[in-house]
């Protein structure tokens, strides 16, 4: 079975009992990383022994699956919920969103940037996840660390290594350069700041990320450090892996990668 066939076996209720936030994510994990089909208690027992078609490139497989799903949703409705807007390009209705300071257009066929190029597949997967998550409310305006979210203990280490430590190392002694890079992503200074630099980066319209930067203090022997915060309601707009990836992409872009 491939991912779509597995998805069809699930009730598509996104109940989370398998440990994944959505049936789609579970189906892709089964084919891409050998997740056990029996983890979904709703799949018939005779199906759980079925042959699963493993794929070598999970990103490509996932992207294909996600693309096929766009036609099943109302883009105009999502545009309102996700802070985007509908535009017409070459006769087709597309959802326009801002992603890390750049406009991207999402249609039933593809995701393209305003300059007409296809974003990196990993960015496309993030954008599709944002689209399908749908957004279930408003931002709270209250900032919290990743550790405040459920099941985040092991993920805090990933955020520290690939985002916080990366930014701290790259911009030690270069606070103004960090500010310049973040402003290029349409970041604004946070109204309250208890660090040397506090910038709110609108990674996606409903996924702002607050970067707190403390520069090195040679006198006291402290190296530069960074703490990333998310809106308390961020998980209404993205799953935890996607939130971490969003922060990682922010760091990579700031570092010119
Ligand atoms: S347990 Fe089954 S129905 Fe529930 S989210 Fe997972 S795959 Fe979907």
Instruction: Tell me what pLDDT residue 53 has.
Output: 61
99: in domain: yes
Rounded Cα distance, 255 and 41, in Å = 44
Residues 114, 17, single domain; the answer is no
Q: Give the pair of three-digit tokens for residue 59.
A: 């990103």
Q: Which of 133, 166, 184 is the last residue before a domain boundary? A: 133
Residues 147, 127, single domain; the answer is no
Residues 246, 164, single domain; the answer is yes
Instruction: Tell me what pLDDT residue 52 has.
Output: 64
For residues 233 and 206, the answer to whether their CB atoms sit within 8 Å is no
Residues 116, 50, single domain; the answer is no
How many of the other CB atoms lie within 10 Å of CB of 6?
A: 26
Instruction: Tell me what pLDDT residue 179 has.
Output: 98
Q: How far is CA 142 from CA 147, 148, 208, 233, 253, in A?
A: 14, 12, 11, 8, 25
User: What's the gap in Å between 21 CA and the centre of ligand 1?
Assistant: 8
Ligand 1 atom nearest the C-alpha of 22 is: 5
Rounded Cα distance, 233 and 248, in Å = 19
User: Considering only CA atoms, which of 51, 49, 55 is closest in space to residue 32?
Assistant: 55
66: in domain: no
Residues 211, 160, single domain; the answer is yes
Each residue of 69-99: pLDDT tens digit?
A: 888 888 999 999 999 999 987 778 899 999 9
Q: Give the pair of three-digit tokens for residue 143.
A: 């900032």
DSSP assignment of 106-118, as one string? Answer: E-SS-EEETTSPP
Rounded Cα distance, 156 and 145, in Å = 9
DSSP 149: S
Rounded Cα distance, 74 and 69, in Å = 11
77: in domain: yes
Rounded Cα distance, 212 and 175, in Å = 11
Each residue of 238-251: pLDDT tens digit?
A: 989 899 999 999 99
Residues 36, 105, single domain; the answer is no
Which stretches of the chain score pLDDT less than 70?
21, 32-33, 46, 48-59
Q: Give the pair of three-digit tokens for residue 5.
A: 């066939």
Domain containing 95: what range?
71-133
**Which protein residue's CA is at the shortest distance from atom 8 of ligand 1?**
23
Q: Is 15 in the pocket of ligand 1 (CB under 6 A)?
A: yes
For residues 119 and 111, the answer to whether their CB atoms sit within 8 Å is yes
Task: For a ligand 1 pocket test, name from 20, 21, 37 the mutation site with the most ligand atoms within 8 angstroms of its C-beta.
Answer: 20
Residues 42, 123, single domain; the answer is no
Cα angle 42, 45, 48 (rounded to 5 degrees) comes to 90
Residues 177, 215, single domain; the answer is yes
Residues 178, 209, single domain; the answer is yes
Q: Which of 79, 110, 133 is the last residue before a domain boundary? A: 133
Residues 186, 216, single domain; the answer is yes
User: What's the gap in Å between 201 CA and the centre of ligand 1?
Assistant: 33
Residues 80, 37, single domain; the answer is no
Q: Is 20 in the pocket of ligand 1 (CB under 6 A)?
A: yes
Residues 242, 148, single domain; the answer is yes
User: What's the gap in Å between 121 CA and the centre of ligand 1?
Assistant: 25
Q: Given CA atoms 248, 236, 84, 179 in this order, what sign does their dihedral have?
A: negative
Instruction: Tell me what pLDDT residue 12 has.
Output: 81
Q: Which of 84, 105, 133 is the last residue before a domain boundary? A: 133
Ligand 1 atom nearest the C-alpha of 13 is: 3
65: in domain: no
């Amino acid at each position: 079975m491939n991912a779509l066939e597995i998805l069809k076996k699930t009730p598509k209720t996104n109940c989370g009992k398998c440990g994944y936030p959505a049936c789609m994510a579970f189906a892709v994990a089964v084919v891409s990383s050998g997740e056990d089909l029996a983890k979904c208690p709703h799949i018939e027992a005779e199906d759980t022994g079925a042959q699963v078609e493993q794929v070598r490139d999970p990103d490509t497989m996932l992207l294909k699956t996600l693309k096929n799903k766009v036609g099943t949703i109302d883009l105009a409705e999502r545009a309102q919920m996700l802070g985007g807007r509908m535009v017409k390009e070459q006769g087709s209705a597309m959802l326009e969103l801002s992603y890390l300071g750049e406009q991207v257009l999402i249609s039933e066929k593809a995701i393209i940037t305003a300059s007409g190029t296809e974003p990196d597949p990993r960015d496309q997967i993030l954008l599709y996840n944002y689209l399908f998550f749908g957004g279930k409310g408003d931002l709270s305006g209250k900032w919290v660390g990743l550790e405040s979210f459920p099941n985040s203990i092991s993920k805090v280490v990933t955020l520290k290594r690939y985002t916080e430590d990366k930014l701290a190392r790259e911009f030690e002694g270069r606070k103004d350069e960090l500010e310049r890079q973040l402003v290029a992503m349409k970041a604004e200074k946070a109204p309250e700041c208890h660090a040397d630099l506090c910038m709110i980066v609108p990674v996606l319209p409903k996924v702002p990320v607050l970067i707190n930067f403390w520069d090195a203090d040679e006198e006291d022997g402290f190296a530069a450090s960074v703490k990333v915060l998310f809106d308390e309601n961020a998980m209404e707009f993205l799953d935890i892996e996607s939130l971490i990836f969003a922060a990682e992409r922010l760091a990579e872009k700031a570092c010119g990668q």
